[in-house]
A and B are shown apart, each in its own frame.
Chain A
Amino acid sequence: MKKPTTVHQGTLALMVLKTLDVLGPLHGYGLARRIEQISGDRLTLNTGTLYPLLLRLEQEGAIASERGPSENNRSARFYRLTRAGRKQLQAETRAWEQTTAQIARFFAVKAEDLP
């Protein structure tokens, strides 16, 4: 059995923001399923981390929420990205890309490449 990967908090926030950016407003359950789906079911989300994170992101102003009807007519809380959240997403995406690029360069390095 494949061991489920755990998600670091900083990365989970980025995933949440990106998912909301791409898919528009979502409720918590949907968000969790979507993230797992996007990861190819290689991620298992800990609900104990997700909901507090949503609350925190909202308190920080990156996302906003309101209650509304869900696809099967249940009432649920829908989260959407705010302008501040979008800015934060852009900034963090850039930072993340820089980091991965740097790490990638390190991984690509071979002894003979170095003078």
Chain B
Amino acid sequence: MRRLRQWLIRLTTSMTRRHDDTRLREEIEDHIAFETEANLRRGLPPDEARRRALLTFGSIEAFKEGYRDQQGVPSFEHLLQDMRVAVRRMWKTPGFTATAIATLAVGLGLTSAVMSLAYALFLRPLPVDEAARVVFVEQTRANRPGGWGYAHPDYVYLREHARSFSELAAHNSTMPPLVVTTPGGPVGVSGAVVTANYFALLRLTPRAGRFFSLDEDRVPGRDAVAILSYDFWRTRFAEDPQLLGATPRISINGTPFTVIGIAPQNFHGVVAGLEPNAIWIPMAMYGVASPYCDAPLSRACGGVGVIGRLGAGSSIEEAHAEVAGLSRQLKEAYPEASLGNGVLVRPVRGVRMLEQTASVPIVALLAAAAALVLLVASANVAGLLLARGMRRRKEIAVRLAIGASRGRLMRLLLTESVMLATAGSVAGLQIAVWSMDVLRAYFSNLDLSLDPRIVLIGFGVALFTGVATGIAPALQSTRADMALAMKDGSFGAGRPRSIVREGLIVVQVALSVLLLGAGGLLVRSFFMLHRGPGVDPDRVAIVRLRPSLVGFTSERAWAYQREVIERLEALPGVAAASPASAPASWRAQPVTPARLPGDSSDPEHAYRVGTALVGPQYFKTLGVGVVQGREFDDRDTVAGPRVAVVNEPLARHFWPTGGAVGSAITIGNDRVEVVGVVKDLQWTSALQQPDPVAYLNFWQQDPSNRVSQDSRTHISVAGDAAALLPEIQRTIAAIDPDVPISEAGSLAARLDAQFTDVRAARTMLVAFGVLALGLSMIGLYAALAFAVGERTREIAIRLALGATRADVGGLVFRRGMAIVLFGIAAGVTACVIAGPFLAHLLYGVSPRDPLAIAAGPAVLIVVAALAISLPARRAMQQNPIVALRAE
């Protein structure tokens, strides 16, 4: 209590400080006057009397200080005082301040951005009520990553028997996209088929209209009702309230639908990461969404995603145990069904498990790179603070000599570090915002934003860095030998300290070389992607045509497809066109068994190949010739003998000594004759082997299969494919405006989209590498400039004793280059070791590609020569007489 009272008194006194100061000055004057009078009475002359009085009183400043410490709230006042000193000092050394702040900002900004990306991918909860209780219920499969859905009947079984959930719903995002008619023409959007209880389970309220009723999800194909996402409603229908109602106003994949509701603004479906859901239709309308399966809700067709809301009082573990039991029952009841062998119940966080698994390498890479930059930044700041601490030894020794306590000095130095860190993290926030913009361009499907918690963590890291890098120089400074330091700063500079400083530079250079090397590899990789397997992707356009969606008969669809090719080939600037089942950039998975006729071994263990359906002139369209034989042409008809073109890996497997052309082979169930061999046409990373691929004739498919009507038509353009696209689309639309054209773009654009990870890694790593290079060069310059300043006297003596200026400059230059070369050697070694970790992103380039790895060091040496020459010049231009006299 008493303490509190005293503290309060002190607090008020620190407010009434001015009054007390006058009062004290008055008392001091009185005291000295009395003392002087007493001295006069003792018979001293007036001058001497006053001098003695002043002498006995002692230092007036010390007096005031002692008094102040007793009066106010010292720690608080000291803090303000220290902050004032720190600000003044930061202001006086703008170069140091700017470098330190920028360095910290870069390190922190990049780390926060990458962490936000990881958060969005792995951790972010759904924007729904009690999101932590909403779980994905998935199956796992041996040796396959991620979680998988359940067949619809299995979902129904789970829903009817599971007791740990208050609700279980099924959903499936549509692949391929749904084609929806809008006032601006048909668009392909990602949608989801969902059970009627989906929105109720998530406890969402519609923004407008209503959600599905249970009855609307009862009879397959009866209730054509849809719910739109708010964004879709806003961007495509201008929030038209007339859209909602009883009459069908839109059509989905050709079927008229009635819009009954609009979802809340921030809701884009439970599966983030794919394209956000723009439209939802009842599970009973699955047939409209899936052209692949005639009875999508049967066990024969693919699965549906299952989400659940945990019931009151049940935990994830209980739910998991229950679902695992039910899955076992299902497996016993349907042994032939492809049920997984494990169960996964996990909170709906981040993106779907499969995408999460796929994102791990890229996020790990970016995180590692950001951590390296942060390391460079920290080493840089530590070096700067250390050098400055050395420069301030004299000042600190003086402070200690006139009575500053070590603790107080430490506090001052720490205040400076913390303030630097604070300024750094504020600037870092801005860098993070910019980095997020860059990342957003590559992860456009993710709703990326900086999370306040991540910003806070970043701030904590900055503070820690500031304190940690501030403490070492502070400790070193206060331990300085006062007498030595005051006499002459330059003699105290021992070798061990400069070794620490130079070691920090070596580390920075090495890390920069590592980052630049990785960046170089990815730049080469991306470049080689566009070189691809001999295809010029800028000269190939691809459009997706789906007559199956508008209900064509197979004869009409085929006539349509043939007419498209004829009209396109008549177009000026088009060299050739060919339909295909998939874009050239896709890898055909080797799943189809292939064997020579007469081979009666177990089909289970057959050699498996990828297959693709392509039309005549496909290889001409891509600009790659056949190695042997011919490609498909008009001789190959539905009625004629089945033919195939195989790639070199397949030909080598079956006919190692040649002779593939003219031989027969069985692909799946079809016996075909090989008419040609082509080079491998796959985009394979350094980790992958080219797969064997058999190309089958597009026109020899079974016409009764609805999907076979659809194509991705490849068009070879003499010039820029992107420029001719509008013309191409117009030409196709003129044939039949009802057939949806989607995914129109050049092969180059498709590659960019398909290899986003390579692109993102390339951009980020090159940026990180350049940043690290810049930081380490600033560090190098600062360290050398400091060393030159420290050796002023030594250099002056050398010059006085007859060393030429070139000798002196060479001294500094050699020292600097030695540091850089050490760093480069370490960095290149690190590159050679780390290269293979990038292999999954490297296409057409070896993980130890010398050109890519050497590019970084080459640039670095040039920049380093510049950074070194500045302090070297300063050393050369020194005037020995001035320097020696200054001592």
A contact set with B: CB distance below 8 Å: 27-30, 32, 46-49, 51-52, 54-56, 59-60, 70, 72, 74, 76-77
Question: Whole-angstrom distance from the CB of B531 to the nearest CB of chain A?
Answer: 83
Contact residue among A46, A60, A77 (Cβ-Cβ distance under 8 Å from B30): A77
**B-side contacts of A52, CB under 8 Å:** 24, 66-67, 70-71
User: Known interface pairs A48-B63, A72-B37. Does A55 touch B20 (Cβ–Cβ under 8 Å)?
Assistant: yes
Least distance between A66 CB and chain B CB atoms (Å): 12
Contacts of A29 in B (CB 8 A): 30-31, 34-35
Question: In the complex, how many angstroms separate the beta carbon of B21 from the nearest chain A beta carbon?
Answer: 11
Q: What chain A residues lie within 8 Å of B6 (beta carbons)?
A: 60
Contacts of A59 in B (CB 8 A): 9, 13
Q: Does B37 lie within 8 Å of A55, measured CB to CB?
A: no
Q: Is B598 at the interface (CB under 8 A from chain A)? A: no
State how many angstroms separate the Cβ of A115 from the closest Cβ of chain B: 40
> Which listed residue (B20, B62, B71) contacts A48, Cβ 8 A?
B62
Chain B nearest CB: distance from A28 CB in Å? 6
Cβ proximity bits B7-26 to A, threshold 8 Å, 1 near / 0 not: 00100010000001001101
Query: In the complex the two chains form, what is the Cα distance from A72 to B38 in whole Å?
Result: 11
B34, A55: Cβ atoms closer than 8 Å: no
Please report the C-alpha to C-alpha distance between residue A72 and residue B26 in the assembled complex, in whole angstroms.
18
Other than A29-B35, A56-B71, give 9 A-B pairs with Cβ distance below 8 A. Answer: A30-B34, A47-B63, A48-B58, A48-B62, A51-B67, A55-B24, A55-B71, A76-B30, A76-B34
For the complex of A and B, 3 pairs with smallest distance between CB atoms: A29-B34, A52-B67, A48-B63
- B797 interface hit (Cβ, 8 Å): no
Q: Mark B618-629, 1 if CB is under 8 A from A, else 0.
A: 000000000000
Task: Find out whether the CB atom of A47 lies under 8 angstroms from the CB atom of B20.
Answer: no
CB-nearest residue of chain A to B26: A77
B447 at the interface (CB under 8 A from A): no
At the interface, yes or no: B292 with Cβ under 8 Å from chain A?
no
Q: List 19 A–B pairs whose Cβ atoms lie within 8 Å, in order of A's numbering.
A: A28-B27, A29-B31, A29-B34, A29-B35, A30-B34, A47-B58, A48-B59, A48-B63, A48-B67, A51-B24, A51-B63, A52-B71, A54-B27, A55-B71, A59-B9, A59-B13, A60-B6, A74-B33, A76-B34
Is B464 on the interface with A (CB-CB < 8 A)? no
B655 interface residue (CB < 8 Å to A): no
Q: How far is the CB of B72 from chain A (nearest CB, A)?
A: 11
Judge if B409 is at the interface, Cβ distance under 8 Å. no
Q: Quick check: is B491 within 8 A (CB to CB) of the other chain? A: no
- The distance in angstroms between the C-alpha atoms of A27 and B31, with both chains bound, is 9
Size class of B's contact patch? 20 to 34
> Would you give the 0/1 interface string for B28-68, flagging 1 where the beta carbon is closer than 8 Å to chain A?
10110111010000000000000000000111001100110
Q: How many A-B residue pairs have CB under 8 A?
A: 58
A55 contacts across to B, CB distance below 8 A: 20, 23-24, 67, 71
B39–chain A nearest beta-carbon distance, Å: 12
Give min CB distance, A50 to chain B, whole Å: 9
What mask results when residues 588 to 601 of chain B are scored 1 for a CB within 8 Å of chain A, else 0? 00000000000000
Q: Are A27 and B30 touching (Cβ within 8 A)?
A: yes
The residues of A that contact B26 with a CB separation of less than 8 Å are 77
Which of B9, B27, B62 is A77 in contact with, Cβ under 8 Å?
Answer: B27
Residue in B closest to A51 when the chains form the complex, CB atoms: B27
Closest CB of chain B to A73's CB: distance in Å? 11
A30 to chain B: which residues have CB within 8 Å? 34
Decide: B34 and A49 in contact? CB cutoff 8 A.
no
A81 to B34, CA, bound (A): 22
A48 close to B66 (CB less than 8 A): yes
- A101 smallest CB distance to B (angstroms): 25
Q: Bound state CA distance, A49 and B62, in angstroms?
A: 10
Contact residues in B for A70 (Cβ distance below 8 Å)? 34
Q: Which residues of A contact B57 (CB under 8 A)?
A: 47
| Min CB–CB distance B231 → chain A (angstroms) | 67
Chain A residue with the shortest CB-CB distance to B27? A51
Q: Name the distance in Å between A33's Cβ and chain B's nearest Cβ.
A: 8
CB of A29 to closest CB in B, whole Å: 4
Question: In whole Å, how far is B104's beta carbon from the nearest beta carbon of chain A?
Answer: 42
Q: In the complex, which residues of chain A have a beta carbon less than 8 angstroms from the beta carbon of B28?
A: 47, 51
What's the Cα separation between A27 and B57 when bound, in Å?
16
Q: Which residue of A lies closest to B30 (CB)?
A: A76
What is the chain B residue whose CB lies nearest that of A29?
B34
Cα separation A29 to B34 with both chains bound (whole Å): 7
CA distance A48 to B27 in the complex (A): 11
In angstroms, how far is the closest chain A Cβ from the Cβ of B346? Answer: 65
Q: How far does the alpha carbon of A108 sit from the alpha carbon of B35 in the complex, in Å?
A: 43
CA distance A56 to B70 in the complex (A): 9
Bound: A29/B59 CA distance, A:
17
Q: Which of B6, B24, B62, B63 is packed against the most chain A CB atoms within 10 Å? A: B63
* Least Cβ–Cβ distance between B68 and chain A, in angstroms: 9
Q: Measured between alpha carbons, how far is A54 from B66 in the docked complex, in Å?
A: 13
Complex-state Cα separation, A19 to B880, whole angstroms: 68
Q: How far is the CB of A11 from chain B (nearest CB, A)?
A: 16
Which residues on A sit within 8 Å (CB–CB) of B33?
74
Nearest-neighbour CB distance to chain A for B71, whole angstroms, equals 7
List the B side residues contacting A56 at CB < 8 Å: 70-71
Give Cα A20 to B57, complex, Å: 22
Query: Which residues of A are found within 8 Å of B37, using beta-carbon distances?
Result: 72, 74
Residues of B near A32 (CB, < 8 A) are: 31
Q: List A contacts of B70 (CB < 8 A).
A: 52, 56
Residues of A within 8 A of B20 (CB): 55
CA distance A72 to B24 in the complex (A): 22
Chain B residues within 8 Å of A60, by CB: 6, 9
Instruction: Give complex CA distance A60, B7 in Å.
Output: 11
Min CB distance, A61 to chain B, in Å? 10
Bound together, the chains give a CA A51 to CA B30 distance in angstroms of 11
A71–B667 CA distance with the chains assembled, in angstroms: 125
- Cβ contact of A49, chosen from B27, B30, B66, cutoff 8 A: B66
Q: State A79–B339 Cα separation when bound (angstroms).
A: 97
CA distance A51 to B62 in the complex (A): 13
Q: How far is the CA of A81 from the CA of B24 in the complex (A)?
A: 20
Docked pose: A92 CA to B27 CA in angstroms: 27
Interchain CB contact (< 8 A) of B31 among A28, A49, A72: A28
CA distance A77 to B63 in the complex (A): 19
Task: Tell me the bound Cα distance from A60 to B8 in angstroms.
Answer: 11
Chain B residues, Cβ within 8 Å of A77? 26-27, 30
Chain A residues with CB under 8 Å of B30's CB are 27-29, 74, 76-77
Q: Which B residue sits closest to A48, measured CB to CB? A: B63
Complex: A89 Cα to B26 Cα, angstroms:
27
Q: Which residues of B contact A51 (CB under 8 A)?
A: 24, 27-28, 31, 63, 67
Closest chain A residue to B31, Cβ basis:
A29
Q: How far is the CA of A54 from the CA of B187 in the complex (A)?
A: 87
Taken together as a complex, chains A and B put the C-alpha atoms of A46 and B57 apart, in Å, by 8
**When chains A and B are docked, how far (Å) is the Cα of A47 from the Cα of B34?**
13
Query: Distance (Å) between the CB of A7 and the closest chain B CB?
Result: 14
| A51 CB, nearest partner CB in chain B, Å | 5
Provide the bound-state CA to CA distance between A47 and B462, in Å: 46
Q: Give the distance in Å from the alpha carbon of A46 to the alpha carbon of B67 in the complex.
A: 12
Docked complex Cα distance between A54 and B30 (Å) = 14
Q: Nearest B residue to A60 by beta-carbon distance?
A: B9
Q: Name the CB-closest residue of B to A56.
A: B70
Q: Considering the chains assembled together, what is the distance between the CA atoms of A21 and B70 in angstroms?
A: 25
Nearest-neighbor residue (CB-CB) of B28 within chain A = A51
The smallest beta-carbon distance between A18 and chain B, in angstroms, is: 21
Chain B residues with CB under 8 Å of A46's CB are 58
Chain A nearest CB from B265 CB (Å) reads 61
Task: Give complex CA distance A51, B24 in Å.
Answer: 7
Closest B residue to A58 using CB positions:
B23
Complex CA distance for A27 and B62, rounded to whole angstroms: 22
Rounded to whole angstroms, the CA-CA distance of A16 and B123 in the bound complex is 69
Docked complex Cα distance between A54 and B63 (Å)? 14
How many angstroms from the CA of A28 to the CA of B27 in the assembled complex? 8
B residues 49-102 touching A (CB-CB < 8 Å): 57-59, 62-63, 66-67, 70-71
Bound state CA distance, A101 and B66, in angstroms?
Answer: 33
Most buried by B among A28, A29, A32, A70: A29
Taking the nearest CB of chain B, how far is it from the CB of A102, in angstroms?
Answer: 23
